[in-house]
Structure 1
Amino acid sequence: MTRSDLLTAANGGPDDVGRLLVGSYAWGTGDRAFLVGRRAQVFTKNTTESTTAKLVKALTVLRDQGPAKAYEMLALGGEQKLPYLGPSFYTKLLYFADARPDAQPGRALILDQFVAIALKEVEHWDITERGPWGPDQYQRWLEFAHNHARTESTNQAAVRPHAIEAAMFRKGWAIYQARIAAARAARRQP
């Protein structure tokens, strides 16, 4: 499953919100299947009706009021908060649901552990690496990525905000992997 697959699938309409959530989980989980049981709790510990109703409301707000307001609705204390669905995955859902008819990303962006690591380590933000992140931090992230994309764009080549998100994810992933390697090396030393 690719990012493009989900950007295309997002154009199916509100009836496809469950499939889009499953797709977001599958894409976001990748080959780390050991976390599937924990991630499945959003489906096993919430009713299908409740999950669908809350997500449809949040996605309506996404279309009408923007990604920051939709994030606020899904965040801790938000009107549409779903137990067991955290920001790393509901921002993926928002990202894919905000796709344009031509399967291009919209305004919403993903905020997960690896983006947070890069924001903390590279940009020196005061942000927790594992969340939860408040709506104000998500708004700040959106502004940062959209502004950075505008700044980096030229007349010859536009930089899209999702390219900034992808670059921050890769940087955060590299930092995370370096930490793991350093911890392993430290354990091997006498």
Structure 2
Amino acid sequence: MQSSAVDLIPEGTSVPDRDEVLAQAIPFDRNRWLSCLPGADWWPPELDDCPTVAGRQRVDRSTVFRVARRSDTTEGRRHLLTAALVWGTGTKARSVTRRAEIFAVSARDIDARLKAGLGTLRQAGPVAAYYAFNNDQHIKHLGPAFFTKVLYFAGHEQCDETWRPLILDRFVALALRAADTEETWPTSGWTTPWYRRYVHITHEHALKAGVAPDQIEAALFSWGKQLK
């Protein structure tokens, strides 16, 4: 573990190294997900190669990044959405069912909005893409905590390293609420200015600490879980 970043991460909270971030793995139930998807063709084949630990397959960030490299096609974008949902959800039946509400929308609508939102990411960057997915390209039941996962995996290798998309969920927000004393951070319903502020301060502190921005995000997530 590396030393804590200046100011944003409290003393005593370690920032994980890059390998630890990439190895962050979440268990999943393949059959449970397949029963919820619009079709078997939405399932990324990379997930079938994930290792099994204590009877459950586990998907890590590096695997979702591999899926994201195919997000320039309709099938690839579908696979990215599924992989991001699987990585962010875990194995509880109720959680999987709740996430799968996204697929109640027509596949054509999801495809169009994913293509437009990720196109905005490539052309205009993470903040504009956040606005798109939170407004004109919003997919019903896909809120910021999960569409920022899609943006993160799709954009980490596409975007300039000085301004990359990052995951913003309630645990990260709880940490920001405790650390960033200039504002009182909401724990949900983040508008685009909040996301811009988050990306800015995270990149700023990553630069100070000499680490990647998602290492700071991972540290904030870990701290936020302790604060819940």
Q: Give TM-score, length-normalised by structure 2.
A: 0.69
Cα pair 2:172 2:217 within 8 Å, conserved: yes
How far 1:2 sits from its partner (Å)? 0.5
User: Cα RMSD between the aligned structures?
Assistant: 1.6
Cα pair 1:39 1:84 within 8 Å, conserved: yes
4+ long deviations beyond 3 Å: none
Hey, what's the Cα distance between the residues in 1 that align with 2:70 and 2:132? Answer: 22
Tell me, yes or no, if structure 1 residue 168 matches structure 2 residue 227. Answer: no
In the other structure, the counterpart of 1:132 is 189
- How many correspondences in the alignment? 164
Secondary structure (helix, strand or coil) at the match of 1:12 reads: coil
CA deviations 1:30-67 (Å, max 9, x no partner) are: 244421111111112x1111001101110011011000
Alignment of 1:5-84 (within 5 A): 5-15=63-73, 16-44=76-104, 46-75=105-134, 78-84=135-141
Cα pair 2:90 2:96 within 8 Å, conserved: no
**More off after superposition, 6-15 vs 143-152:** 6-15
2:165 to 94, 99, 108: 108
Secondary structure (helix, strand or coil) at the match of 1:8 reads: helix
Hey, what's the Cα distance between the residues in 1 that align with 2:83 and 2:62? Answer: 11
1:169–1:32 Cα change, 3 Å? farther
Hey, what's the Cα distance between the residues in 2 that align with 1:6 and 1:33? Answer: 21
Q: Which structure has the highest strand share of the two? A: 2
Hey, what's the Cα distance between the residues in 2 that align with 1:82 and 1:107? Answer: 22
Tell me, yes or no, if structure 1 residue 147 matches structure 2 residue 207. Answer: no
Higher relative contact order (CA 8 A, sep 6+): 2
CA deviations 1:135-177 (Å, max 9, x no partner) are: 0000000001100011111xxxxx000000000000001112x
> What is the one-letter code of the residue matched to 2:216?
I
In the other structure, the counterpart of 1:185 is none
In the other structure, the counterpart of 1:87 is 144
Hey, what's the Cα distance between the residues in 1 that align with 2:92 and 2:203? Answer: 30
Task: Give 5+ residue unaligned stretches, structure 1.
Answer: 154-158, 177-190
How far 1:116 sits from its partner (Å)? 0.4
Cα pair 1:10 1:99 within 8 Å, conserved: no
1:33–1:164 Cα change, 3 Å? farther
Hey, what's the Cα distance between the residues in 1 that align with 2:198 and 2:147? Answer: 15
CA deviations 1:97-129 (Å, max 9, x no partner) are: 11327xx9x711000010001011232341221
Task: Give 5+ residue unaligned stretches, structure 2.
Answer: 1-58
Q: Give TM-score, length-normalised by structure 1.
A: 0.82
